[in-house]
Chain A
Amino acid sequence: MRINITHKIIFLFILLISTLSIIIGFFSFNYGKQALMIEFDDRAKALVKGLALNCEYPVLFDNKDMLSSIGANVLSLKDVIFCEIRNEKGQVLFKKGIKNKPYNHEYTSVIQTEKVNDVEEGLVLGNGQIRKFEKIGRI
């Protein structure tokens, strides 16, 4: 079979289309992956922050039952594989799940509680300006 100019043009055109498709596919795949990762990251951060807020009360008063139910609730979510809650001394109050799975990302947040400064009338007069936040644990 003789390869004439028409064949050559068709072949070149197919080659061009294929290369372009591969390049566009590669970039769109990467872009999609990045967009998904950003969304995943935002969701995970919000989840951990919410969890830290929910844990303030049980960590403060060492209520392990409440922590277990909060932890189990978080682990029931599709993307959560491991959860650990510690108090400010570093003692583990709740730990469940498998930590070392491939492609996992670790997110942490500080558990804080609001305390009133040493000026007593703030307690009576109820002013937010003389309050401070104290670290009581970590997710």
Chain B
Amino acid sequence: MPKKICQIICLFITLLLFHNMTCFALEKTTVSVVFSSDMEAYHQAWEGFNEFFKKNGVNLSVSTYNLANDDPETVILRIKKEKPPIVFALGTRALKLLKMRVGEIPIIVCMVINQDEINGANITGVTLSIPTMIKLQWINENLPQTKRIGLIYSIETAELVAKISQDCKKSGYEVVAQKINSGEEITWALQKIASRIDCFLMVPDARIYFPKSIEYLLMEGLKRKFAVIGLSSFYTKAGAFVSFDCDYQDIGRQTAAMAMKILNGQSPTDIPSESPRKTTFSLNLLVAEKIGIKIPPVVIKEAKEVFGR
């Protein structure tokens, strides 16, 4: 008789455990997602974010907003009404809006270039900026003749350029930097520095770079034979020698891991913002040939995208 009771108790405990597990799997977590625009990269990051939660058995109940179509005021009102445990911002526009208007809800952000934007007691996330050291290491390994790196910047990117310069100096490179006020001044700035540089590192500065100034830079790079390091594979395709990229889906997963910590009770202030953990690079072989750089086949194989074959 006691054996039977024991069996029943065991069965009851097993059932109870199973019930708890299924309850956890079916647990719904509410997240408000705000897209800055309809960019494909934002959707890729969102896919990664979703995938991470699904893999961890958390069902997301999502309210999605897109600032390309939705009125920012309505978005804020609805988020404040819903009061989700976390708000996920994709891009600078969404972050700026939430930072200004939502102070009480933790904000997790990704796809933002400027790390300084991710500041505030309730904000953390993953930036889009690839650490300069990764780029410098690649230059060191694949462009050993490089001694001087050129940079053109405006007041918007002065701080970023100061950080890059420090990293360059640490890695033993001389920095030739030129400050300008607008993209129209890129001609004289390049003329001033072009003869003194071995490669040119682009910084994400919308004041300087627009289609025509980029075209000018890439053309000058070919003419004066210096390697241009672009901002993403779009630039490599257009004529930069090499560009570094992030895996947007992985950025989404990385951000989701941070979001999970917040949902488990950690404060966003205790979670420092991170750089993307997965980086890739793209090469333009035609440009390499024109500027006289020989790339070993191993490096070509490593590249995620190769243009001008």
A: residues with CB less than 8 A from B are 56-57, 60-63, 113-127, 129-131
Q: Given the complex, which residues of B lie within 8 Å of A121, measured CB to CB?
A: 36, 39, 41, 91-92, 111-113, 128, 204
Known: A120-B92, A121-B92, A121-B111. A113 touches B128 (CB 8 A): no
Q: Are A125 and B209 in contact (CB under 8 A)?
A: no
* B14 adjacent to chain A (CB < 8 Å): no
Binding site for A on B (CB under 8 A): 36-41, 68, 91-93, 111-114, 128, 183-184, 186-187, 204-206, 209-213, 215-216, 231-232, 234
Closest B residue to A123 by beta carbon equals: B204
Contact at A56–B206, with CB atoms within 8 Å?
no
Q: How many Å from the CB of B115 to the closest CB on chain A?
A: 11
Ordered nearest first, which 10 A-B pairs have the shortest CB separation? A126-B234, A115-B210, A120-B113, A61-B187, A125-B41, A114-B211, A116-B206, A127-B39, A124-B231, A124-B232
With A and B bound together, what is the CA distance between A121 and B115 in angstroms? Answer: 12
B68:A129 contact, CB within 8 angstroms: yes
Would you call A129 and B211 a contact (CB within 8 A)?
Answer: no
List B contacts of A115 (CB < 8 A): 183, 206, 210
Cβ contact within 8 Å between B212 and A114: yes
Beyond A116-B206, A126-B232, list 4 extra A-B contacts (CB 8 Å). A61-B187, A119-B91, A120-B114, A121-B92
Nearest CB of chain A from residue B208's CB, rounded to whole Å: 9
Across the interface, name the chain A residue whose C-beta is closest to B187: A61
Main secondary structure of the interface of A (DSSP, over half): mixed
Contact in complex: B128, A122 (CB < 8 Å): no
**Does A124 lie within 8 Å of B37, measured CB to CB?**
no
Chain A's nearest CB lies how many Å from the CB of B202? 9
Which one of B183, B204, B211 contacts A120 once the chains associate, using CB atoms below 8 Å?
B204
Contact status of A129 and B36, CB under 8 A, knowing A115-B210, A119-B91: no
Q: How far is the CB of A40 from chain B (nearest CB, A)?
A: 32
Alpha-carbon distance between A60 and B185 when the two chains are bound, in angstroms: 9
Closest to B42 in A: A125
Chain B residues closer than 8 Å to A124, beta-carbon distance? 113, 128, 204, 231-232
27 contacts between A and B (CB under 8 A): A57-B212, A60-B184, A60-B212, A60-B213, A61-B187, A61-B216, A63-B187, A113-B211, A113-B212, A115-B183, A115-B210, A119-B36, A119-B93, A119-B206, A120-B92, A120-B113, A120-B204, A121-B36, A121-B41, A121-B112, A123-B113, A123-B204, A124-B232, A125-B40, A126-B232, A127-B40, A129-B38
